[in-house]
Chain A
Amino acid sequence: MATPIEAPTLDFSSRFPEGVVADERKGFEGYIVDADKLIEFATALRDEFGYDYLSSVTGVDYVAEEMLEVVYHAYKTIGGAGLVYKVQVARDKAEVPSLYDVFPGADFQEREAWDLMGIKFTGHPDLRRILLWEGFDGHPLRKDWQEAYYEADVKPFKSRWPEGNFYRSEEKVDYKANVKYPGNFDPEKWVPEGEDALYGSLAKYEDTDTSGLKTDHITVNLGPQHPSTHGVFRIAATLDGETIMNMKPVMGYLHRNHEKIGERNTYLQNMPFTDRLDYLSSMSNNFGYALAVEKLMNIEVPERAEYIRVLMAELTRVQNHLFAIGMFLNDLGAFFTPSLYAIEERELVLDIFEMVSGSRMMCNYFRFGGLARDLPEGALTMIRGLAFERLPRKVDEMDRFLSDNEILRSRTVGQGYLSAEDAIRYSAAGPMLRASGVPYDIRRADPYSIYDRFDFNVAVRQNGDIFDRYIIRLDEIRESLRIIQQAVEQIPEGPIQTGKPQYQVRVPAGESYGRVEGPKGELGFYVVSDGKANPYRYHVRAPSFINLTAFGPMCQGLKIADVVAVLGSIDIVLGETDR
């Protein structure tokens, strides 16, 4: 790792005498940038101030102020705290210059903000809806948009108590009044223009065949129903023979607008919903959300709870990576033997989760300021047994079983290359970033919880190919086991919750961004509070979603069969991608 350079102090007033002011609203931080200065500002941040990693782009609808705000979170890949900057535009004329040229990683996130918020990013080369379908009416994350079966703006609903006479929503809502359609919508006559736009966006490739033969390119859709896509996910690709010329992922088939649900929920009610994002690693999701809200509430977490949190987060990483490796081998054609070997070990970790939290996958274990309950008797012994005895042995066995396999190596070594520069530019996170030689791990770069106490290495590999993205997961399991071993040894006795457990927490007005190094990458929760019982804005920076930005560029020039291997090496979960 390069020695961190002393960054210039953040004195924007001399560099930008106009157009950049500090955000002085109470509880808010960062800078407000004029829309016409945005590209210049972002470029300067990247080139002069060292904020080369654009982590998150999202919008907030301040309906009372008649204003939409685009929020950018930038970080340095050499580590350290981040920088927030915002652009404010009028609600009825929401146009912001696109940062696509400065940070290509903004691609999908800007499309998402356009899709859900209706913010137009001028200069974006392919600004289409990304999660919703093309004929969708309106932009659902705007505060005045109401979903099907809308009952009230916020939970709890008045109809449930004290006069809670049960009915089903569909009994009260007419079937036709369920979904809103654009004006004059006729399903018989509707043409999916979005599909044309999708295929049009793929057809930028020009034929360079010099032999005089005229060749056609064919467009192939892989998915949405395809076993290799790990869910419902579609890849539209233009092929020249078997070679991929251009490729775009199409997603949103599992979209349920998690963020809108989150804004209807109270803070605590959101906790079990975060389990359903990346359903393979719910403890990490809990962790990120708890951190974001705790930052707003400004409360501390007791020692013992911190240790249990770290234990759970690392066990989650272990089981997620085991599953990822197993399923990746499935994608390569090693039909289920490696994945079942991996799932066996994962089951033992899930046994611990079930014992501790009551559920194997939907853990819902973290609370603001602590945990739902203490570890039951015997849990630590089980964790000990796994972390000291079984898992190290089994990870080595996995390594012996797979890593030298010639078929695996010939399918993966040198394929699906992503350079370190590109990984940063495309805002790739987690194992994908580190396999490209960027030693960026939030646990080390911007430590949260008690990660600064543990002795572990940031796993990093230099080649940036599929094989490195596979092997780095084994490295990370080993490092996680080291952390677990230390945490089990050091865990103190004590309370596991600050203050009394409350179902209605008081969250002061303001914003916060809590991020954790999830198994799939940087998992961030951006929460804006207006002091009421429900979050005003709740945004998830989903690593599975943003890691896919680099998917298309990585696949260019590969054979169609390798796309599946590349996708397997990214390790996505559609519950999180589509949200």
Chain B
Amino acid sequence: MYGKGILKGLGVTLKRFVNTYVDDLKWLGKRYYTAEGLAHRSSKDASGIFTVQYPEEKLPVPEEFRFIPFLVYDETEEGNEIRCTSCGICAKVCPPQCIWIVRTSDPKTGRPVPAPADFTIDADICMNCGLCSEYCPFDAIKMDHDYEIASYGRTVYGLEDLMKPASYYAEIRPINNSIEEAARKAKEEAKAAKAAARAAKAAQ
């Protein structure tokens, strides 16, 4: 019968249409604007309409999600301590070359000091590849989760804009943070053990 294929296709469309309402009823008004409803709509079991009502609803981003880098600082009793040592690896690995670092040097000796005097990221050029954070040996530069940074002008971040506390980092990337924390601790312990061994040797 001519037109059978079209009818079959329309059947699929009708089923989808009905499914949306059936799913709505199943969820009794909780399909939208709830975390479970949102998770359901983006899972393999989803049926019916998928739409996420952005900006009222937002999809939760996974831990690895990456957007414009920021610099991590530790909050210690002596004040905020930036982790960056201005070694320049991030500036060297950056594919579009959007990271600019001015190294601090000691005013007396002129020798480099491990802290950045200035740090600029041209967010208009940044391609969000995440290589800087991947290759930073000090866990000092990390990729952010905040993607709503559209603006009318140009977006260039200076040192002040880039600084975010370690607690924020732990909040957005808990798994990565705990792994790195453990690695740092192990390293410090090894260092302390070595120093103790050396001290014991010197005392002998």
Contact = CB atoms under 8 A, between A and B. Distances in A.
A470 to B, nearest CB: 14
Given A164-B100, A359-B66, A385-B44, A406 B88 contact: no
A400 B95 CA distance: 45
Q: How large is the interface on A (under 10, 10 to 19, 20 to 34, 35 or more residues)?
A: 35 or more
A404 B6 CA distance: 7
Nearest to B92: A156
Contact of B127 (A161, A162, A362, A386): A362
B102 interface: yes
Interface string B80-110: 0000001011011111010111110000000
B42 interface: yes
A402 B5 CA distance: 8
Contacts of B2: 406
Given A160-B99, A162-B88, A402-B9, A357 B64 contact: yes
Contact of B130 (A269, A358, A382, A406): A358
Contact of A164 (B3, B101, B129): B101
B100 A404 contact: no
Interface residues of B, number: 50
Nearest to B100: A164
Contacts of A162: 86, 88, 101-103, 112
A407 B6 CA distance: 8
Contacts of B66: 358-359
B33 interface: no
A404 B50 CA distance: 26
A163 B102 contact: yes
Given A162-B102, A358-B130, A397 B12 contact: yes
Interface string B1-19: 0111110110011001000
B9 A401 contact: yes
A344 B86 contact: no
Interface in B95-143: 95, 97, 99-103, 112, 118, 120, 122, 127-131, 134-135, 143
Contact of B95 (A160, A269, A404): A269
B156 interface: yes
Contacts of B128: 359, 362
A8 interface: no
A185 interface: no
Nearest to A404: B5
B62 A354 contact: yes
A341 interface: yes
Contacts of A354: 61-62, 64-65
A386 to B, nearest CB: 6
B74 interface: no
Contacts of B94: 156, 160, 269
Given A347-B50, A382-B44, A397-B12, A273 B95 contact: yes
Interface in A223-276: 265-266, 268-273
Interface in A392-408: 397, 400-408
Contact of A160 (B64, B101, B175): B101
A364 interface: yes
Interface in A316-332: none
Nearest to A265: B95
A503 B131 contact: yes
Given A358-B64, A376-B63, A166 B100 contact: yes
Contacts of B61: 354
B9 A405 contact: yes
B131 A272 contact: yes
A362 B62 contact: no
Nearest to B135: A503
Nearest to A390: B44
A273 to B, nearest CB: 6
A156 B6 contact: no
Interface of B: 2-6, 8-9, 12-13, 16, 42-46, 50, 61-66, 86, 88-89, 91-95, 97, 99-103, 112, 118, 120, 122, 127-131, 134-135, 143, 156, 175
The list of the 10 closest CB pairs from A to B, nearest first, reads: A404-B5, A164-B100, A272-B129, A161-B88, A162-B103, A166-B120, A269-B95, A385-B44, A358-B64, A358-B66
Given A161-B92, A348-B44, A403-B5, 9 more contacts: A156-B91, A156-B94, A160-B94, A161-B99, A164-B102, A272-B127, A273-B95, A405-B5, A405-B6
